Chain A
């Protein structure tokens, strides 16, 4: 053990490695409900070369290695289930290149959402990236690799779809580049080469350590607005969402259903955020959005909330702070959600069943759905808050999450960034050949089985 520590110190320096109980405690858990698992070492590399050396060391010694960004995934994916090293990527946070002409940015994987947002605002105010509603310290790498979604997902799909390319340290220590950057100085796209990015997306750090990545940027427009469409019948939601999305004007479409504040209970609110270069264009877009749902307006079964500009400001914030505020509603800072990727047509049953679970389990809840693409699918979230210092409360939330994962799978959805028990449930439903292929690929990439073991295992 001591020898490994000394080796790590040699690689990253004493300040950036720890085997002390404080760090081992902190890195053993996340804000969700999953049981803590302590690492033996926490190490913070600064360069791709350092990552390579650490991976090689782990390989030689057959030590489990768990890459971690912000550690905010909530479902415990960066807890080292079998001990070993947690590789905290936050020092690798450089913003390496912004290509204005081709609208992309190359960053180190540990660059945070907040840093990139601030950097672009300052240096490239006409460009922005699709920011998730996660706390700003969440990393670009961690989020893209789990197929995150955010404020430009109606325009650009999942964040993994906005990935142009990456640099990865393979579990055996080699560095590989994926996408155009493997054959060109530009990081413009994953096409037209064989798309190897899929070997690292959705794998929860079991196939390599991503050190750099390029993501698409989008216009940051000077004029911005949000419409909030309100209905009280979830059965109407899929058609309304489809109509709103297919106008191809929205940057983000987010439905939210919450028992608090009182006026929100029983209604489904759909926020449609959009931007424009001029006020006239903004008005035109507003009219297009409105026109798309005209039949519902005429039937008076839905409508846009009349909000003066001041009252819209908080709905235009990116990231939105509402979920973060909800996260601490029971105090004690416990918060987790099932994010279910599913077709939009399942909106009504997804909503009703979520409500049933939350109410029967008596957990504070906030439900919602972020629309991905032109309503090609949605990330339906079931967020439950709990007090981490109250074991009964934690257990209640855990049961609600388990029930929700099972319900989602039964309905035909798939839990996103699933906890290990939910991963097992997914695997049970999965075509066995698919799972066999996953295992074969993993064995090839990671012959020693060191990468985040315990994940995607039957």
Chain B
């Protein structure tokens, strides 16, 4: 089993314990944070393991990129500190299991990977995706989701097979070495999580945002500016790859969308609430969602734009109730190109 690449010495010497003192959900002063973190390092139980809402943020807050979140998840699993009730976890593991239904297929660049959301294929159309090959399904599911379930073991077991599937069934046979990750989670998995878990990724993952930026630049002349304020729902997995955030600004600039300054964005972004519900803490989920939506409404957003399909499905009704239009980022770009949208 692959070992997590983290350096205990870095944590022992750490003075600020940002991973815990900056946590949005557990209130800890520096001293408490230090004590709890030392327990976690020593493999002992800590209240953090039980109170963690698995929002991924500490992975971003650690200035040393020492993977505090992955360590928390490893410890939760070792100590059976399950964030989600056990039957639900087992059920999800069964639901998302590889189906073994994959067949080799010649693809050509750009290859858009929809991961476990093949039902979003309708959104891959128009000029932005002309000539694209679309792949997806449970056999290509990146498996990062198990971070929410204290099941790194499932990631370790399934992710290498998924990478093999991508290579053996699509990329290698087609001589393609780039994979466009429609979902931020996949990009985070292949560029940040896999290396941290010591899993090799033999292709080049490209974030959807980068792909869209490139395409929009090519199609610049055809863009009709959106001219509206747009709130962006940052997915939890983006905490793993904060360096991709600038693409959102570039996309907004290209399509003439206004990104008003919000309280809950960037490092301060709030989770969509779905995993909090999975952890059976609906009251917390309600409060987080309310703060998030109040914030979007307060800045007068007309659209709320999503990358993560799960965030989209969770929040879209509530966003619409507030008079905003929930939309996937690719669809917003297509509106700017005068194409209407699918979702």
Whether the pair A308, B274 counts as a contact (CB closer than 8 A) is: yes
Cβ of B121: which chain A residues have Cβ within 8 Å of it?
none
Contact of B86 among A300, A304, A308 (CB under 8 A): A300
Q: Do B85 and A230 touch (CB < 8 A)?
A: yes
Closest Cβ of chain A to B249, distance in Å, is 28
Residue pair B85, A310 in contact (C-beta under 8 Å)? no
Considering the complex, give the chain A residue whose CB is closest to the CB of B88.
A303
Q: Contact flags (1/0) for A413-442 with B, using CB distance below 8 Å?
A: 000000000000000000000000000000
Answer whether residue A286 sits at the interface, using C-beta atoms and an 8 A cutoff: yes
Contact check, B87 vs A267: say whether CB atoms are below 8 A apart.
yes
- Chain A, 249-273, CB within 8 A of any chain B CB: 261-267
The residue among A261, A263, A287, A297 with the most chain B CB atoms within 10 A of its own CB is A263
Beta-carbon nearest neighbor of B309 in chain A: A308
Minimal Cβ-Cβ distance residue in B for A262: B94
CA distance A306 to B91 in the complex (A): 11
Residue of B nearest to A298 (CB): B280
A297 contacts across to B, CB distance below 8 A? 85, 280
Residue B286 CB within 8 A of the other chain: yes
Chain A: which residue is nearest B275 at the CB level? A306
CB distance from A347 to the nearest CB of B (A): 16
On chain B, the residues within 8 Å of A300 by CB distance are: 82, 84-86
The answer to whether A263 and B282 touch (CB under 8 A), given A230-B85, A232-B90, A300-B82, is no
Q: Is B314 an interface residue (CB 8 A)?
A: yes
Query: B150 → chain A, closest Cβ, in Å?
Result: 11
A311 CB contacts on chain B under 8 angstroms? 313
Residues of A near B313 (CB, < 8 A) are 308-311
A263 to B93, CA, bound (A): 8
Determine how close the nearest CB of chain B comes to the CB of A391; give it in whole angstroms: 34
Least CB distance, A255 to chain B, in whole angstroms: 14
**Which of B94, B274, B317 contacts A306, CB < 8 Å?**
B274
Q: A306-B275, A306-B278, A308-B314 are in contact. Are A301 and B85 (CB under 8 A)?
A: yes
B94 near A263: Cβ-Cβ < 8 Å? yes
Give the number of residues in A that approach B within 8 Å (Cβ atoms).
Answer: 27
Most buried by A among B97, B277, B280, B286: B280
Q: Within the complex, what minimum Cβ distance (angstroms) separates B309 from chain A?
A: 9
A89 contacts B by Cβ under 8 Å = no
Chain B proximity mask over A355-395: 1 for CB below 8 Å, otherwise 0: 00000000000000000000000000000000000000000
Asked if A305 is at the interface of the complex by the 8 Å CB criterion, the answer is yes
B3 at the interface (CB under 8 A from A): no
Residue B71, interface by CB 8 Å: no
**Shortest Cβ distance from A219 into chain B, in angstroms?**
22
Q: Are B87 and A230 in contact (CB under 8 A)?
A: yes
Chain A: which residue is nearest B286 at the CB level? A283
Cβ of B310 < 8 Å from any Cβ of A? yes
Q: Are B94 and A303 in contact (CB under 8 A)?
A: no
A264 to B88, CA, bound (A): 11
Count of B interface residues, CB-CB < 8 Å: 25
8 Å CB contact of B85 from A266, A287, A302: A302
Q: Which residues of B contact A231 (CB under 8 A)?
A: 87
A79 on the B face (CB < 8 A) = no
Report the Cα distance A425→B86, complex, angstroms: 42
**Is the CB of A159 closer than 8 A to any CB of chain B?**
no
A216 contacts the other chain (CB 8 A): no
* B103 interfacial by beta-carbon distance below 8 Å: no
Contact with A along B65-92 (1 / 0, CB 8 A): 0000000000000000010111110111
Contact of B84 with A303 in the complex, beta carbons under 8 Å: yes
B277 and A301 form a contact (CB under 8 A) = no
Any B CB within 8 A of the CB of A290: yes
Find the residue from B87, B274, B277, B283 having the highest chain A CB count within 10 A. B87
* Pairwise interchain contact B91-A309, C-beta atoms closer than 8 A: no
Tell me, in angstroms, the Cα distance from A262 to B96 when the chains sit together.
10
Specify the chain A residue showing the minimal Cβ separation from B80: A300
Shortest Cβ gap from B76 to chain A (Å): 12
CB neighbours (8 Å) of A263 from chain B are 91-92, 94-95
- Which chain B residues lie closer than 8 Å to A283 at the CB level? 286
Please indicate the chain A residues that have their CB under 8 angstroms from the CB of B282 in the complex: 286-287, 290
| B94 and A301 within 8 A (CB) | no
For residue A224, give the distance in angstroms from its CB to the closest CB of chain B: 13
* Of B88, B97, B277, B314, the contact of A230 (CB 8 Å cutoff): B88
User: CB distance B310 to A308 under 8 Å?
Assistant: yes
Complex Cα distance, B314 from A309, in Å, reads 7
Interfacial chain B residues near A262, Cβ < 8 Å: 94-95, 97
CA distance A76 to B75 in the complex (A): 59
Inter-chain CA distance A261–B138, complex, in Å, is: 14
B141 CB, min distance to chain A CBs, angstroms: 13
Tell me the smallest distance from the CB of B85 to a CB of chain A, in Å.
3
State the CA gap A286–B277 with chains docked (Å).
Answer: 12
List residues of chain B with CB within 8 A of the CB of A286. Answer: 282
Least Cβ distance of A144 to chain B in Å? 37
List, in ascending order, chain A residues with CB within 8 A of B88's CB: 230, 303, 305-306
Q: Are B274 and A230 in contact (CB under 8 A)?
A: no
Q: How far is the CA of A42 from the CA of B263 in the complex (A)?
A: 73
**CB proximity to A under 8 Å, residues B249-301:** 274-275, 277-278, 280, 282-283, 286
By a CB distance below 8 angstroms, the chain A residues around B277 are 304, 306
Question: A264-B91, A300-B84 given. 12 additional CB < 8 A pairs?
Answer: A230-B91, A232-B86, A232-B90, A265-B94, A267-B91, A283-B286, A290-B282, A302-B85, A303-B85, A304-B280, A306-B275, A308-B314
Could you name 19 residue pairs across A and B whose Cβ atoms are closer than 8 Å?
A231-B87, A232-B90, A261-B95, A262-B95, A262-B97, A263-B92, A263-B94, A263-B95, A267-B87, A267-B91, A286-B282, A287-B282, A297-B85, A297-B280, A301-B85, A303-B87, A306-B88, A306-B275, A306-B277
| Nearest 10 pairs of A and B residues by beta carbon | A303-B85, A308-B313, A263-B95, A306-B278, A263-B94, A232-B87, A306-B277, A300-B85, A303-B88, A308-B314
